[in-house]
Amino acid sequence: MAGERGGLPGHWAVLQSPDPRAGWGCRVDSVGVRLPAGRLTTSELMSRTRHRTRIQLERLTGVHERHVVEPGENSFTLATGAARDCLAHSEHRASDIEMLISCSITRSTGGMSQSFEPPLSLYVKQAIGATQAINFDLSNACAGMLTGVFVLQDLIARGEISCGMVVSGEYISQLGWNAAHQIRSLFSPQLASLTLGDAGAAVIVERAPQGAPGIDVIGFATLAEHSRLCVAYPSTVGPGAQMYTRSRKLQKAAITDMVPLLADVLGHAGIDMADIDYLIPHQTSARAIRKGTAEFARQLGASPKHVVVNIEENGNTASTTLFVALHKYLEEQRVHKGDRVMLLSLASGIEVGIAVMTIDSQVNRYGRTH
Amino acid sequence: MGARIEAASALASHGWHQPTARRLADAAARECLARAGREASDVDLLINAGVYREDNMGEPALAALVQEDIGANLGRPANGSHGTFSFDLANGACGVISAIHLQAGLLRSGVIRLGLIVTSDVDPGHDGNGSDLVRPTGGALLLGWDDGIAGFADFHVETFPEYESLLTSGLTWHARRGPHVPLAGAGHSQMVVNEQPGYQARCADCAREATGRFLGRLGMSIGEIDLLVPAPAAPEFLDRLRVGLGVPGDRVAFTAEDMAGAYTSGPIAALEAARRSGRLGEARNVLLLAVGAGITVTLALYRQTPPGAPPA
């Protein structure tokens, strides 16, 4: 019969946790980021809206500025830059990567505003020299990268592969410009588009040595009754897309369902919320994160020691937010060996993804000591 | 013991008014579940592997919309029950086999107990600049676990990036010309599909090479394959592949005429044709093969023999 690493039955989330009897442990080996040099402040963006909006976006969301691509940069270059940075922080070579998954919402290349075929992952693996890797693209809105980690976790735990990379390049600031052309008031469904920023991120997931810490649990559920609360499709205002979000309803639905999902996943792994040293949630707005975590604490009766918010300097970088934030905390040596980090995805769908990992020696490859 | 095909369904949009990828995927999923006698709420993982959609929506994943349409655990399940996880996988015409690869592994681990794969595409050139690469079709495949057969156990993927420019597709921005018109957009994104001459022939050559290496790794010969399930079904690909591999026509699952032009649904359409003819049920070793842009070749060996039994 099949193995028993899963949480079925009786669990809402489709989840995986290591079983020392049944398979290999799995851990994040390294994280890489490519932030474009260009910066756009919120005041500059809001000064260029077509209509006079009177929206105090920075006060409302906490976004002071975001990185934006410069000429010649796109989803492919951001993804490739992040993949190279990830390898630079890893002991693995590109030739060790057995599977490469590209998970970005945007897939712009030099010639296309959104490339469909071949998959972007093929271009990335060729660019970094991981030519032997199995590749495909995966699309799961802002939960894309964590979904990629979920996929790799299973392949590694069964011993089918020992090392894989998840990569994403988000050239998504175009949505902000398209929204700025149309937005009229605080109640516009395009308000969330104004918080978006560009970034590339990559993560190498590998087989953990026997007994070494790694990914403690990872689980996902799709709350499809709320599937239409955030939609994006090609714009008629300019290149790229337009995104329409019913933010308040999305936040309310997410908080309502996320609490029992968190209890479900943490309960399966025997972890208490108070055991979490750093909670890294999807970066939508500082206010929404504060409200959400306060509600988690109220309902679960415990809080993580730290909640990571880096939206002030990066904005919402879509599928890359979790790993951009983790990379920053590794570089700043704020997370230490033995710390427990929770990554919390919230994405259109509604997709809820939860991963808890224990940080190991990878911290030694970041910061000034590296 | 292995991942087993519980049911498959493939359909074309003949007679439909303005077929959409979403409606095609929904219809295929419902038919597939009905054939297996399963409820949508039984599905743990839903992967959509389609590529071309009428609206080119960037988010959410189409899989989440299909999950909503078929009613698979939309919200918090009752105590003791499970939820559904959905996402999209994009690997062109090879997406179905990539999705089978992931789901077969998750079934083996016990992470899921029932996986549904849906595919659908509509003509990407609906505004007049596409190609005849795709005709509106949909497919669905339901995978479960079976202790009695080896099932999906072996997979093989190869890419031939030297041919990556032979098939490319994507959206390009076209600014509207002429004077400003209130409420009119500034332009639109148009899907451009570019298939170079000789693409299908190169696909056949790459598939032949990759198949040889795959079977060699397994210690098998092409003679031990009882049924080849290939995609695409284009004659310029399939005839060359058959000759190259030396597979007689009675061991090939030919896609039904009404499903000609199936794109990501191609492997499911070929499987469905073999099921209808009864040849799928009789075959011990079934080789699924899909070739797409990249050039990417994906292969899956499906063994309907007891676990541990010799391949032939």
Cβ within 8 Å, pair A227-B145: no
* Range A91-104 average pLDDT: 97
Bridge partners of B187?
B175
Alpha-carbon span A353 to A344, nearest angstrom: 6
- Closest in A13, A116, A126 to B169, CB measured: A116
Domain hosting B66: range is: 2-147
Do A340 and A216 touch, CB atoms closer than 8 A? yes
Alpha-carbon span B223 to A165, nearest angstrom: 37
* Range A156-173 average pLDDT: 95
What is this structure's pTM? 0.95
User: Mutating which of B87, B126, B152, B297 best tests the A interface, going by the most A Cβ atoms within 10 A?
Assistant: B87
Nearest-Cα distance to chain A for B9, in Å, is 23
What percentage of residues in chain A have a pLDDT greater than 90? Answer: 72
CATH of residue B291's domain is 3.40.47.10
Answer whether residue B187 shows pLDDT above 60. Answer: yes
Cβ within 8 Å, pair B170-A112: yes
* Range A191-198 average pLDDT: 92
Nearest CA-CA partner of B262 in B68, B51, B1: B51
Does residue A265 lie within any of the structural domains?
yes
Band of pLDDT at residue A279, cut at 50, 70 and 90 = very high
Which chain A residue has the Cα nearest residue B185?
A: A236
Does residue B60 lie within any of the structural domains?
yes
* Range A32-50 average pLDDT: 94
Q: Are residues B142 and B218 in the same domain?
A: no
For A13-44, letters b (16+ CB in 10 Å) and e give bbbbbbbeeebbbbbbbbbbbbbbeeebebee
pLDDT of residue A6: 56
Alpha-carbon span A278 to A333, nearest angstrom: 13
Does residue B258 lie within any of the structural domains?
yes
Q: Are residues B122 and B253 in the same domain?
A: no
Alpha-carbon span A356 to A17, nearest angstrom: 10
Nearest-Cα distance to chain B for A6, in Å, is 4
CATH of residue A303's domain is 3.40.47.10
Band of pLDDT at residue A1, cut at 50, 70 and 90 = very low
pLDDT of residue B13: 85
Q: Are residues B209 and B278 in the same domain?
A: yes
Number of domains, chain B: 2
- Closest in A154, A222, A350 to B111, CB measured: A154
Cα angle: A354, vertex A356, A361; to 5 degrees = 145
Answer whether residue B145 shows pLDDT above 90. Answer: yes
For A111-134, letters b (16+ CB in 10 Å) and e give ebbbbbbbbbbbbbbbbbebeebb
* Alpha-carbon A107 to chain mean position: 16
Does residue B69 lie within any of the structural domains?
yes
Q: Are residues B112 and B203 in the same domain?
A: no
The whole-chain average pLDDT of chain A stands at 91
Does residue B296 lie within any of the structural domains?
yes
Alpha-carbon span A295 to A252, nearest angstrom: 11
Nearest-Cα distance to chain A for B124, in Å, is 11
Does residue B142 lie within any of the structural domains?
yes
User: How far lies A327's CA from each of A29, A150, A175, A358, A367, in Å?
Assistant: 12, 19, 25, 15, 10
Does residue A6 lie within any of the structural domains?
no
pLDDT of residue B125: 65
Answer whether residue B130 shows pLDDT above 70. Answer: no
Does residue A7 lie within any of the structural domains?
no
Answer whether residue A53 shows pLDDT above 50. Answer: yes
pLDDT digits (tens, 9 = 90+) for A201-227: 999 999 998 888 999 999 999 999 999
Q: What size, in residues, is chain A?
A: 370
Greatest Cα pair distance, chain A, in angstroms, is 64
pLDDT of residue A2: 53
Does residue A246 lie within any of the structural domains?
yes
Rounded to 5 degrees, what are φ and ψ at B139? -150, 160
Answer whether residue A104 shows pLDDT above 70. Answer: yes
pLDDT digits (tens, 9 = 90+) for B239-297: 999 999 999 999 999 998 889 889 999 999 999 999 999 999 999 999 999 999 999 99
List of residues 6+ apart from A340 with CB closer than 8 A:
A216, A271, A275, A276, A277, A278, A356, A357, A358, A359
pLDDT of residue B288: 98
Band of pLDDT at residue A370, cut at 50, 70 and 90 = very low
Number of domains, chain A: 1
Alpha-carbon span A73 to B83, nearest angstrom: 40
Does residue B192 lie within any of the structural domains?
no
Alpha-carbon span A215 to A359, nearest angstrom: 9
Q: Are residues B203 and B143 in the same domain?
A: no
List of residues 6+ apart from B71 with CB closer than 8 A:
B40, B41
Q: Are residues B17 and B143 in the same domain?
A: yes
Cβ within 8 Å, pair B68-A3: no
